[in-house]
Each structure stands twice: as C-alpha cells, then as structure tokens.
Amino acid sequence: MAPRPQRERTSPLLLTIALLCALAVLPLGAFAQTAKRGAIMFAINEGATTQVTVVELIDRYTPLARFVERALGHPVKLEVFPEIARFRAELDHDRCDVIFGKTVNALAGAVRDKKFHAVVKTKNPYIAGFIITKDSTIRTPEDLRGKIIMLPEKVFTTKLAEAMLRDLGIKQSEVKLQYTRLQEVVAHSVEIGTADVGVVNPTVKRQWEKQGNVVLLETKPVPNWTIVASPRFSQAEVRRLRAVMVELKSSAQGERALKAIGVTEFVPATDAEYIELLNYIGE
C-alpha cells in the first residue's frame, strides 16, 4: 500500500486571514468568533480617506502581522478597518491587543485613556500642509483671512490644521472652512479654484510639491503612523515587540514588510509624546 501523503501544515495567521476573507461581509463582531483562544487581535486602523478594500488591506498587512506573531509568540488574528468609526467601536470595547494606526490622535487617546503602550512610530513625522497654486495671490499666513480653506472631514489632518490656525491667531470665523471626505478632492478644489487653500496629509503634500505647486504653511511635526500595544502585555513583551519592529529594516524580509505598508523605518515611541499631542490639538 502506498504511504498516505502528509497534510501540509498551515500557520495560524494564514488560517485567520482565510477566515477573514470568507467572513468579510459579516456584521461587526462576527470575526471575534473565528479567533483561536489565546490569539492576539492585531488591528489595522488604515484611517483611509481614499477608497481601499478589505482584501487589499489584508494582503498589505499580512507580512507585518507575521512579525508581530513571531515577536509575541502567539497566533495573530488580523483585522483591518478602512473606516475610523468601526475602528473606534472595536477600541471602545477593548477588543484590540496590538494596533497599527494612521489616525494618530485615536491611538494617542488609547495611550492616555486606556493605558496602551506606545511601541514604535515611523521615522518621519506627520506634517500636514496648507497648499495653494503657484499663481495664488496668497503669500503670508495673514492672507488666509477671508479665504476659502478646504479640509478633509473629521480626520487627524483637520485637527492639526485647526491647531495651526489657532497658533497663527486666526479665528475660524475669519476664514471660510469647507470639508470633504477624500484627500484628492481637497487638492482638486484648489487646482480648479473652488477653494483658495487646501489642507492635506503628508502624502498629498509631497505629490503637490512634485507638480511644481506651493505649500504655504506646514503644521507642527508630530508622531506619524504608530504601533501601540494593550496594557495586557508586560513591559518585557513590549520591549521585544519594539525591538523586532525597529529591526525590520535590517533584513530583506523585514524590508518587504515595511515596503508593503509604505514605511521606510520604525523608531521607538514614548507614551509622553502622544499625551503631549492630545494637549496640542485640544482633545
């Protein structure tokens, strides 16, 4: 009798991702039933103001999730949230163990209010920009008064813009603020002249400058995309996770994981800088 072929073993992470793809249409909370006992819920707060699918996000963050799995020695259940409202609901119900987040003020709130540990942040800080066309008559911050300023709606960039206006001594009643959901609409509105000024995130700001346009002002540099860990983890576990994330840039596999999520390098983060951030933006 021919020997029975051995069944190929599948990692806990890959099993979880397969289940996520199959259950992507289920209501919020349904994914929790698929996790194995002892699994770590690794939440991805994409904070997207552009269109992105759940399947795309799972593919993008799976390599990073594998490193989290190795660092903490537990199977990882990867969950992705392209919408901030759903992410905040999960966070409020204490379902997140490790979070990679782009909505930095939401993660800062977790550090301050839920005692999460700041693990790492991207090396480059978050600096939003007030953009204008190269032929604009606006030359100084004083020229903003009376102008139409387009902002992305209810996101971190908006908070930084409002803090910048406050620091400049410009009251919100002295400008005409308009809001949109998509970052691309902000830049387009400035291009076609329906807004005098736009406020955009660092990515759109770089693209704007490459096109030969002007960034009138930049916001105060603050921590950018961040990884935080639940207070359930010991300080030793947090240090181990931090060390693994910082060293990603030193291996080919780690570099691929970073490239997939658009990060060049992680550096250590401290709790204090996130509490300071919340004080700055008035949250």
- What are the residue boundaries of the structural domains of the chain, listed by start? 12-125+223-281, 129-218
Q: Residue 50's pLDDT is what?
A: 54
Q: Residue 26's pLDDT is what?
A: 33
- For residue 43, how far is the Cα from the chain centroid? 11
pLDDT above 70 covers a percentage of the chain that reads: 85
Average confidence score pLDDT of the chain: 87
Minimum mean pLDDT range among 21-30, 106-115, 138-147:
21-30
Fold match, 12-125+223-281 / 129-218:
yes
pLDDT digits (tens, 9 = 90+) for 117-132: 999 999 999 999 999 9
pLDDT digits (tens, 9 = 90+) for 182-230: 888 999 999 999 999 999 999 899 999 999 999 999 999 999 999 999 9
DSSP secondary structure of the chain: -PPPPPPPP--HHHHHHHHHHHTTTSPTTGGGGGSPTT-EEEEEE---SS---HHHHHHHHHHHHHHHHHHHTS-EEEEEESSHHHHHHHHHTT--SEEEES-HHHHHHHHHHS-PEEEEEESSPB--EEEE-TT-S--SGGGGTT-EEEEETTSHHHHHHHHHHHHTT--GGGSEEEEES-HHHHHHHHHHTS-SEEEE-HHHHHHHHHTT-EEEEEPPPB--SEEEE-TTS-HHHHHHHHHHHHGGGGSHHHHHHHHHTT-S-EEE--HHHHHHHHHHHT-
Give mean pLDDT, residues 9-22.
45
pLDDT above 90 covers a percentage of the chain that reads: 75
Q: Residue 35's pLDDT is what?
A: 38
Give mean pLDDT, residues 239-261.
97
CATH number attached to the domain at 129-218:
3.40.190.10
CA proximity to 212, closest of 129, 147, 135, 148 = 135
Query: Alpha-carbon distance 281 to 138, whole Å?
Result: 25
Q: Residue 13's pLDDT is what?
A: 56
Q: What is the largest CA-CA distance in the chain?
A: 87
Question: Has residue 29 got a pLDDT over 70?
Answer: no
- Class of domain 12-125+223-281 as given by CATH: alpha beta
Question: Has residue 18 got a pLDDT over 80?
Answer: no
